[in-house]
Chain A
Amino acid sequence: MKQLECGRRYFLRAGALGSLVGVSLPEFLRLQSVMAAGKSKAQSCILMWLKGGPSHVDTWDPKPNSSFKPISTNVAGIQISSLLPRVAKHMDKLALVRSMHTLEQDHSAATYYAMTGHRPIPAMHFPSLGSIVTKELGPRSGLPAYVLEPQWERERVYEDSFKAGFLGPEFNPMITPDPSQPGFQVPDLSLPESLPMERLQDRRALLQLVDRSFRQIEESAEYANMDRFSEQALKMILSPEVRKAFDLSQEPQKVKESYGLHGLGQSVLLARRLVENGCRFVTAAGNQVNDWDTHVLNDKKHGETLVPQLDQSFAYLLEDLEQRGLLESTLVIAMGEFGRTPHHNANGGRDHWPQCWSLALGGGGIRGGQVIGASDERGAKVSGPVTSIGDLAATIYKAFGIDWKKEYMSPIGRPVKIANAFNDVTGEPIEGLV
């Protein structure tokens, strides 16, 4: 029954679309966002996933024990690392949370925890933030509602943190290859040359024939779903909009360069395209293999590559979204799975540090230009109240207009909170953000 409801919602939207003659899909969605902006409700989300855990003292929470000085931003009283000069000019759009406190030291467990609010347990698979948002709000357009890019070829297990768990494969993200690689193409979205559209139609007609005798024996809800997905898939493949949304070659070279011709930059660019064309939740991971995990030569890697790339892509994303009128309706989050140690280790690196770290979020109705929480003089401990993953999730849900106190019933009969903070208590939306 739930699936029917989802379909109905989508169906209604498609109908509304059809009635606006002459309006292109991006325009329609922009209208939708503008209307929704009045109620400060986010319509989509771009999650910039900084895999490996960025060092907070070298980014959002500058301290004397960082090798990099702090700089002022365009908001009086807020300073960030000098490695982020461009983002500093957009601080009025962003809220910084410096009091993040989580429990997991290990990459895979920490990623899982950050996205689901639960430690991994053998008994069941918890649903991720993106899957929950997708389930609650449904798709916005003919595009897949939830996308993760790129796939982590050697570390597929990390993808589980972004999946739907017991909610079912319907709410899994579509996972694309790396958009920064030449010849980037999403598999299964376009027909191979040997298969022109007419031939595809032939095939489907033949399938009806072949299926006939079996259909006569029994119909079931599951088969009805197969049909529904089949229709949806066909629409997607045949619709130029969907293919165009995933087609980075449509972007002028200048824009690509502004985002940065690297993994993060192109992921973020693709994310903007997708959101513009109606995607609900995009995780732009951008980096393979724990790039931010600088156990060795932290300053060099953060200082020369990682943070400058982040600075470039993040700043331009904010600018770009604003220019296109999408900032009000698009929630943007930049985070990893934890922070890094306040001290350097013997290899000039910083190790994992979940007990105190930072993240940045903006857009989607978030009140920018503010700092939530604080850490001690070295960025080692949170001073004052901590912000849990449950609080972060509650904030995000609130921005979307989703009831963050909701609980799902898992298949093992245990109720699961969608915004799970410590000790099985529901998190609270961060004051003053939404």
Chain B
Amino acid sequence: MKRRWQAGFLILGAMAWNSGRAAAPAKLLSIRVVPEEVTLRGAQASQRILVLGKFSDGLERDLTAESRITLADAATAGLEDGRVVALADGETWLSAEFRGRAAKIRLRIEASRQERPFRFARDIGGIFTRRGCNSSGCHGSVVGRGGFKLSSDALDPQEDYRWVTEGGVYSVFSVAPKAPSPPRINRKEPEQSLLLLKPTFGVPHGGGSLFSRGSTDYRTLLDWIRNGAPFGQEDAPIDRLDVFPKEPVLDRNGKQRLLVIARRSNGGYEDAAGLARFESADREVAEVSADGLIQAKKAGETPILIHVAGHAPVGIRVAIAASPRVEYPEVARNNLVDDHVFARLRQLSIVPSVLSSDAEFLRRLCLDVTGTLPPPERAREFLADRNPNKRRKLIETLLDSPEYVDYWTFRFADLFRVNLFVQNSIAKASQTYWEWIRDSIARNKPYDQMARERIAAQGYDGAVMHYQTVNEFRAAEDNMAEQVRVFLGRRLDCSQCHNHPYEAWSQNQFWGMAAFFGRLTRLWDQVDFVLIDYPGGHGEMGNGVRMTHPRTKEEVQPRFLDGTLLPENQLRDPRMKLAEWMTAHPYFAEATVNRMWGYFFGRGLVDPVDDIRLANPPTHPALLASLAQDFREHGHDLKRLIRTIVESRTYQLSHTPNETNKDDRLSYSRAFSRPLDAEVLWDAINQFAGVEEDSEKWRGGRASTRTRAINLMTPDLFFSQFLHVYGQPNRLTVPQRESGPSLGQALHMLAGSTYTSKLSKEGGRVDRLLKSQASDRQIIEEFYLAALVRWPSADERDTLQSWIGRRPSRRQAFEDLAWSLISSREFVYNH
């Protein structure tokens, strides 16, 4: 009775939230000009400025076009189309005014007479980047296009210059290159240069017509060729690109211009918009113009990629708020996760769903923390408990449970790839590796320590079995790339053969890192295997190899990603040094936190979880940084991290959508259904059926009669039709569970023994309950509590009772009910 009253109150409350009552129009609080200070250096230097207005609904909107902008001294600087342009040395003020509000910034102009020297990298490279000539779909692709290759985003201007002025030869692998292609410029007859004919479609061009003969870019290129096509000065490399605003939130139909400022290593900075190409990943949500003006289309989120000549592409996330904006209610918060998530939701005008019911929470938490469903007695207890702190207590109980150790051993065995075939078909190796993982989890070993133990493993114990691997995966470069992916969340793989097409990783960086694994030597005495780093120089798992760069054929020395060489006196223990460097690197905590988050929400803050790069920005950068810092500062404690995540209200939200959030996928405004992993699902079915797997079902294996699937040390030693059709991975590759419905699953569900004979087994749950004194209603309730971790609704119970009552065989009727429960979506998904 009381429960119904409470439920009713909740529903009313939710309805009030979901009323979608439009908020009153936002009031302008203040305006400001960005950048806050501008120094222009050199003749014709310019900088775009923005006028931004802060509003009472928390959004900052772009008011530049509607503001009145004036300059105090018209001789020093001029205004041209939203940009301040240097005219003469001096200082002046720029003022902006909008609806009675005002703001101003100081302008400093220096060296206004000093002509900017020509620089190929920027002046020509900028055209290539802006016009997309060097995009990775065209001439910037790994093999170029049409016999012409440019470096992606003008990252290698020397190479580009060579290609354009001399013609080039480019090969990725050792295939003999075809005949060199001709230079792109014609010094004798400049207007006949391919560089001019192609983009203006004077001759056939796969990329179409990009600019006309009257355009500025055409004239720049033509003049350059006429002047002898010089390379000009070297450009100071770009250290950093500052994009503003970093996380714009727009109204529907709103507009926002982007500022892009390049900070160079010589201390200079400049407006890089003239060198940039903007791309929206989802043009249905927002479009971006060639000069960086974002136009919002419909509610949602999309990354926008910014390519600037001389820098790896950078991505920012643009969100378009729902419209009309709602009267935002007060939302309770539990911890820092909520602070970040709910602040963003408020900006987007998306109201989070209500808190999950106790039943929803219980099932979800048990599966996410222990991979195990609670037995019906526990479910009853928890659902009946009146203690307002019961959720907190449950979290602690589960974190301390033996099933926690089981499940997280399984998760890390998956990630670290413990499998008989992977460990070279040596069962003892897999067992040792598995036991090391289990012991680490049981003791809640700091994760950085675990990582170091795996990367730098030596000797014959524990994590060293990671290196006792099948032939295919022995190469030093494969080892390195895998460790970086697992622990730093970055995919260097592409840069093995060529510079990374999407990121700034170079092939040299890749091989410098691979060299850390160049001394791995396996000593084998017919029985045991001992791993060391060969002290005298070069070693390998077997024969001894020198690490050579595949292109230059020179020997590579171990070099960290940031370019520093490993000092000579530390060459004896390269992997330990690498392990220390990696675990101290900010990437480590960030990648770990991101991966763990993914386990609880079905997607990482960066997704895929091991593909963190500039062009793949996190949905909540501040939250990611915050969690990473907390993780790092508290001993890389996995349990603590899990606790932080699951204690948040964000994690505990219901998965039922409301009016404002039904289209939201990326902002954690509610919980999302995720399919159970094959092993977890199987254990759940066995637990429900009250049946343990017999060892006879496992072919040729050594599992004890009571082994659950998540406790298997060497999963590939056992064959199970169920696990096979539900996508149990072979752990040969870095984890990518191929989950998702399939025909095989559907067939198995209808006719497979898991779903037929298992349920009717003697001594199983169905059998026991039927033989007991329990009434139909009690059995139904027990089934629901065991499978779905909730009481059946009155409607469900009545319908089922009457259905069962009408069947000729009570036993069969309950077996059928058991079948439908374990086949239902509610069972097969975690929600």
A interface vs B, CB < 8 Å?
106, 108-109, 119-125, 144, 151, 153-154, 156-157, 160, 164, 166, 168-170, 172, 174-175, 187-192, 194-195, 199-200, 202-203, 206-207, 209-211, 213-215, 217-218, 220, 222-223, 225-226, 229-230, 232-234, 236-237, 411-414, 422-425
Whether a CB of chain A sits under 8 angstroms from the CB of B750 is yes
CA distance A204 to B700 in the complex (A): 36
Contact A125 B733 (CB under 8 A): yes
B820 contact from A119, A210, A223, Cβ within 8 A: A210
Contact A213 B740 (CB under 8 A): no
- By a CB distance below 8 angstroms, the chain A residues around B673 are 218, 220
Contact B655 A237 (CB under 8 A): no
Whether a CB of chain A sits under 8 angstroms from the CB of B18 is no
Contact A188 B812 (CB under 8 A): no
Contact A207/B823 with A120-B732, A233-B750, A412-B493 known, Cβ cut-off 8 Å: yes
Contact A153/B719 with A122-B473, A168-B740 known, Cβ cut-off 8 Å: yes
B741 contact from A124, A188, A222, Cβ within 8 A: A222
Shortest 8 CB-CB contacts between residues of A and residues of B: A233-B746, A229-B746, A188-B747, A169-B742, A207-B820, A423-B173, A226-B741, A206-B820
Contact A217 B173 (CB under 8 A): no
Whether a CB of chain A sits under 8 angstroms from the CB of B825 is yes
- By a CB distance below 8 angstroms, the chain B residues around A215 are 825
Residue of B nearest to A225 (CB): B741
Contact A169/B750 with A156-B730, A174-B744 known, Cβ cut-off 8 Å: no
Contact B655 A218 (CB under 8 A): yes
Contact B826 A214 (CB under 8 A): yes
Contact A237/B473 with A122-B732, A203-B816, A220-B673 known, Cβ cut-off 8 Å: no
> What does the 1/0 interface line of B807-826 toward A look like (CB < 8 Å)?
00000100011011101111
Whether a CB of chain A sits under 8 angstroms from the CB of B478 is yes
- By a CB distance below 8 angstroms, the chain B residues around A157 are 421, 716, 730, 732
B175 contact from A106, A170, A174, A425, Cβ within 8 A: A425
Whether a CB of chain A sits under 8 angstroms from the CB of B669 is no
CA distance A403 to B545 in the complex (A): 41
B732 contact from A160, A217, A423, Cβ within 8 A: A160
Contact A211 B748 (CB under 8 A): no
A229 contact from B732, B745, B751, Cβ within 8 A: B745
Contact B655 A217 (CB under 8 A): yes
Contact A210 B821 (CB under 8 A): yes
Residue of A nearest to B654 (CB): A217
Contact A206/B803 with A169-B744, A230-B746 known, Cβ cut-off 8 Å: yes
Contact B742 A411 (CB under 8 A): no
Contact A123/B493 with A188-B747, A217-B655 known, Cβ cut-off 8 Å: yes
Whether a CB of chain A sits under 8 angstroms from the CB of B398 is no
Contact B749 A214 (CB under 8 A): no
CA distance A207 to B751 in the complex (A): 15
Residue of B nearest to A231 (CB): B746
A160 contact from B730, B752, B825, Cβ within 8 A: B730
A123 contact from B733, B753, B760, Cβ within 8 A: B733
- By a CB distance below 8 angstroms, the chain A residues around B756 are 191-192, 194-195
A120 contact from B472, B675, B750, Cβ within 8 A: B472
CA distance A40 to B727 in the complex (A): 37
Whether a CB of chain A sits under 8 angstroms from the CB of B705 is no
Report 5 cross-chain contacts, Cβ distance below 8 Å, ordered by A residue.
A157-B716, A174-B744, A203-B816, A203-B820, A210-B826
Contact A226/B734 with A106-B471, A217-B656 known, Cβ cut-off 8 Å: no
Number of interface residues of B (CB under 8 A): 72
- Residues facing A in B754-807 (CB within 8 A) are 756-757, 760, 793, 796, 799-800, 803
Contact B502 A423 (CB under 8 A): no
Contact B742 A172 (CB under 8 A): yes
Contact A412 B611 (CB under 8 A): yes
Whether a CB of chain A sits under 8 angstroms from the CB of B540 is no
Whether a CB of chain A sits under 8 angstroms from the CB of B743 is yes
Contact A156 B471 (CB under 8 A): no
Whether a CB of chain A sits under 8 angstroms from the CB of B657 is yes
Least distance between B352 CB and chain A CB atoms (Å): 16
Least distance between A407 CB and chain B CB atoms (Å): 12
Contact B740 A169 (CB under 8 A): yes
- By a CB distance below 8 angstroms, the chain B residues around A121 are 478, 493, 733
> What does the 1/0 interface line of B569-583 toward A look like (CB < 8 Å)?
000000000000000
CA distance A124 to B656 in the complex (A): 35
- Residues facing A in B474-489 (CB within 8 A) are 478, 481-482, 485
- By a CB distance below 8 angstroms, the chain A residues around B727 are 169
Contact A191/B825 with A156-B716, A203-B820, A425-B175 known, Cβ cut-off 8 Å: no
Contact B803 A169 (CB under 8 A): no
CA distance A109 to B478 in the complex (A): 15
Beyond A202-B816, A209-B796: 14 further Cβ-contacts under 8 Å? A109-B472, A125-B738, A160-B730, A164-B738, A169-B739, A188-B744, A189-B751, A191-B751, A203-B820, A207-B824, A213-B826, A214-B825, A214-B826, A217-B656
Whether a CB of chain A sits under 8 angstroms from the CB of B491 is yes
CA distance A12 to B820 in the complex (A): 31
- By a CB distance below 8 angstroms, the chain B residues around A168 are 738, 740
- By a CB distance below 8 angstroms, the chain A residues around B746 are 226, 229-230, 232-234
Inter-chain contact total with CB atoms closer than 8 Å:
196
CA distance A88 to B823 in the complex (A): 54
> What does the 1/0 interface line of B162-193 toward A look like (CB < 8 Å)?
00000000001111000000000000000000
- By a CB distance below 8 angstroms, the chain B residues around A106 are 471-472
B608 contact from A218, A220, A225, A411, Cβ within 8 A: A411
Whether a CB of chain A sits under 8 angstroms from the CB of B494 is yes
Contact B743 A144 (CB under 8 A): yes
- By a CB distance below 8 angstroms, the chain B residues around A195 are 751, 756
CA distance A329 to B736 in the complex (A): 36
Contact B826 A211 (CB under 8 A): yes
B743 contact from A199, A210, A233, Cβ within 8 A: A233
Residue of B nearest to A125 (CB): B733
B734 contact from A123, A236, A425, Cβ within 8 A: A123
- By a CB distance below 8 angstroms, the chain B residues around A226 are 741, 746, 825
Contact A223/B825 with A174-B744, A199-B816, A209-B803 known, Cβ cut-off 8 Å: yes
Whether a CB of chain A sits under 8 angstroms from the CB of B56 is no
- By a CB distance below 8 angstroms, the chain B residues around A203 are 816, 819-820, 823
- Residues facing A in B51-67 (CB within 8 A) are none
- By a CB distance below 8 angstroms, the chain B residues around A220 are 673
- By a CB distance below 8 angstroms, the chain A residues around B471 are 106, 109
CA distance A194 to B816 in the complex (A): 12
CA distance A213 to B799 in the complex (A): 13
Contact A122 B744 (CB under 8 A): no
Whether a CB of chain A sits under 8 angstroms from the CB of B70 is no
- By a CB distance below 8 angstroms, the chain A residues around B733 are 120-125
- By a CB distance below 8 angstroms, the chain B residues around A151 are 719
Least distance between A123 CB and chain B CB atoms (Å): 5
CA distance A121 to B823 in the complex (A): 36
- By a CB distance below 8 angstroms, the chain A residues around B732 are 120, 122, 125, 157, 160
CA distance A236 to B749 in the complex (A): 13
CA distance A189 to B821 in the complex (A): 22
Least distance between B363 CB and chain A CB atoms (Å): 12
- By a CB distance below 8 angstroms, the chain B residues around A190 are 751
Residue of A nearest to B727 (CB): A169
B750 contact from A213, A234, A413, Cβ within 8 A: A234
Whether a CB of chain A sits under 8 angstroms from the CB of B721 is yes
Contact B750 A200 (CB under 8 A): yes
Contact B491 A412 (CB under 8 A): yes
- By a CB distance below 8 angstroms, the chain B residues around A164 are 738
- By a CB distance below 8 angstroms, the chain B residues around A175 are 724
Contact A225/B174 with A160-B732, A188-B748, A414-B494 known, Cβ cut-off 8 Å: no
- By a CB distance below 8 angstroms, the chain B residues around A213 are 793, 796, 826
Contact A188/B721 with A125-B736, A166-B736, A412-B491 known, Cβ cut-off 8 Å: yes
Least distance between B359 CB and chain A CB atoms (Å): 12
CA distance A257 to B820 in the complex (A): 44
